[in-house]
Amino acid sequence: MTASRPSELEDGVIETLFDHLSQAVDRAGPEGETLFLARLALLMAEQIGDPVRVSALIAAAEARIDD
């Protein structure tokens, strides 16, 4: 499994999740956004349950930071 596999979520769902995430980051504020995102990533990593996959996803996100 690679981090670049096609999304299983429809575009509309991705946009809704992006909006929800953006609003949560805004509520966390500049001082809390890094901690919020780190906590979210760790919660998602626990749900994924595959450290290799999680590491690949982190690398994929970092590679697309300027997109």
Dump pLDDT digits (tens) for 3-17: 445 567 888 898 999
Task: Tell me the CB-side half-sphere exposure of residue 16, using CA atoms within 13 A.
Answer: 5
Please give the pLDDT value at position 7.
Answer: 62
Dump pLDDT digits (tens) for 26-53: 999 999 999 999 999 999 999 999 999 9
| pLDDT(1) > 80 | no
Please give the pLDDT value at position 6.
Answer: 52
Nearest of 58, 64, 62 to residue 40 by alpha carbon: 58
Dump pLDDT digits (tens) for 51-66: 999 999 999 999 988 8
C-alpha distances (whole Å) from 19 to each of 5, 24, 46, 51 are 22, 9, 23, 27
Each domain of the chain, given as residue ranges in start order, spans 33-67
| Whole-number Å distance between alpha carbons of 63 and 58 | 9
